[in-house]
């Protein structure tokens, strides 16, 4: 049976990336060794990570003011590593709490300094993006989560502020062309749009660093990773390689403009279908709906289990909503085809016709 992969992460990868990665496990670039066996300081791998770093800058159109790092720990580690590097004792950072990951980031940052919630959408269960930011003038940085994977909301434009803007872009990185220069620091777990789980991308403006007095453990210090060109310790070699393959795929497919065109087409198809069927309901403010993660519900809760069972039987994988939210979640990352979304929409229409 054909499978349709709507997982929220780890998520779908392009077929050609999977094929190339599979071949590299057996033998990498004809060298007689697997990608899993090569040394991380060998020229074979240094070439991989340097090309990946270069492609990130190219796709983001960034200059040498910025450094690109591939780090361990995923985006969750950055909830504490960002304030560890940017926020000194007694200093203030402003955070936007528009979902579960923003809430977690607030909690971790509070261990390092004074955190002010500049905007929150908790009053409506995170069903919209609160764009009315109240940022203290002495804030060292402002933190946002650009796409809320769990709740299904997304920033479609970004706040203008003279204070350095920091963003968790884990679930919509490389899905659209934006002015990345608006941000002083960007981080993203790879397992949505950028590759396999196990590596975290960090892009940072160099002049943001080195301003705190608190000692930073070497392995947590961005400056030390920059000096070592992401080779301070053994990186997740295979995950970095898959990220490189995915970045190549994005570029070869037409870059971020093409990713955005496809994303909008898929999202419009999904949302127009759901909106046309009274059996489904969405609580998300339409202007804030995510193009990456559509979250919606069955109008009558008794229909949810039968619908999920039908999805399972039809090979629709990963459509059950996050455990704290429930409902249905359809994730539409870069590698997901329009045909997969159409198949889901056809299934939804069939189900609706039988349960009027």
Q: Is 89 a catalytic residue?
A: no
Cβ pair 184, 205 in contact under 8 A = yes
* Nearest-angstrom CA–CA distance, 297 and 333: 20
E-only strand ranges, 62-213 = 66-71, 92-97, 114-120, 139-145, 147-148, 153-154, 165-168, 185-189, 200-205
Within 10 angstroms of residue 179's Cβ, the number of other Cβ atoms is 9
Q: Is 15 among the residues known to form the active site?
A: no
In the numeric block, the tokens 């085809």 are attached to: 337
SS3 track for 30-73: CCCCCCCCCCCCCHHHHHHHHHHHHHHHHHHCCCCCEEEEEECC
Catalytic residue among 97, 101, 155, 249: 101
Query: What CA–CA distance (Å, rounded) separates 28 from 99?
Result: 41
Residue among 309, 315, 322, 269 nearest 291 (CA): 269
Nearest-angstrom CA–CA distance, 128 and 287: 8
Which of 97, 192, 249, 266 is an active site residue?
192
- Residue 168 annotated to the active site: yes
Choosing from 168, 172, 221, 288, which is the catalytic residue?
Answer: 168
Q: Label the pairing between strands 200-205 and 66-71.
A: antiparallel
For residues 119-156, b (16+ Cβ closer than 10 Å) or e, as one string? Answer: bbbeeeebbbbbbeeebeeebbbbbbbbbbbbbbbbbb
* Pair 204, 221: CB distance under 8 Å: no
Q: Which residues are catalytic?
A: 101, 168, 192
């Amino acid at each position: 049976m054909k499978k349709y992969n709507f997982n929220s992460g780890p998520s779908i990868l392009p077929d050609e990336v999977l094929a190339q990665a599979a071949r590299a496990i057996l033998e990498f670039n004809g060298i007689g060794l697997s990608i899993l066996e090569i040394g991380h300081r060998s020229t074979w791998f240094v070439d991989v990570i340097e090309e990946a770093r270069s492609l990130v800058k190219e796709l983001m159109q960034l200059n040498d003011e910025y450094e690109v790092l591939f780090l361990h720990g995923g985006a969750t580690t950055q909830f504490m590593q960002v304030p560890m590097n940017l926020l000194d004792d007694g200093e203030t950072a402003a955070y936007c709490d528009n979902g579960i990951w923003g809430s977690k980031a607030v909690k971790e940052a509070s261990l390092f300094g004074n955190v002010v919630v500049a905007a929150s959408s908790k009053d409506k269960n995170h069903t919209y993006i609160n764009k009315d930011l109240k940022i203290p003038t002495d804030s060292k940085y402002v933190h946002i989560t650009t796409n809320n994977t769990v709740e299904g909301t997304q920033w479609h434009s970004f706040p203008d502020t003279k204070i350095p803007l920091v963003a968790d872009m884990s679930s919509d990185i490389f899905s659209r062309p934006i002015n990345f220069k608006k941000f002083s620091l960007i981080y993203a777990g790879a397992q949505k749009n950028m590759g396999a789980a196990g590596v975290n991308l960090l892009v940072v403006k160099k002049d943001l660093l080195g301003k705190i007095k608190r000692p930073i453990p070497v392995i947590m210090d961005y400056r030390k990773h920059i000096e070592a060109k992401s080779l301070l310790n053994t990186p997740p070699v295979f995950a970095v390689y898959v990220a490189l393959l995915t970045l190549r795929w994005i570029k070869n497919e037409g870059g971020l403009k093409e990713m955005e065109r496809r994303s909008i087409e898929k999202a419009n198809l999904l949302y127009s279908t759901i909106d046309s069927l009274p059996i489904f309901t969405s609580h998300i403010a339409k202007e804030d709906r995510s193009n990456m993660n559509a979250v919606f519900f069955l109008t009558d809760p008794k229909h949810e289990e039968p619908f999920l069972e039908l999805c399972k039987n039809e090979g629709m994988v990963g459509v059950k909503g996050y455990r704290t939210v429930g409902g249905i979640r359809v994730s539409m990352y870069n590698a997901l085809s329009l045909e997969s979304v159409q198949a889901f929409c056809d299934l939804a229409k069939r189900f609706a016709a039988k349960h009027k």
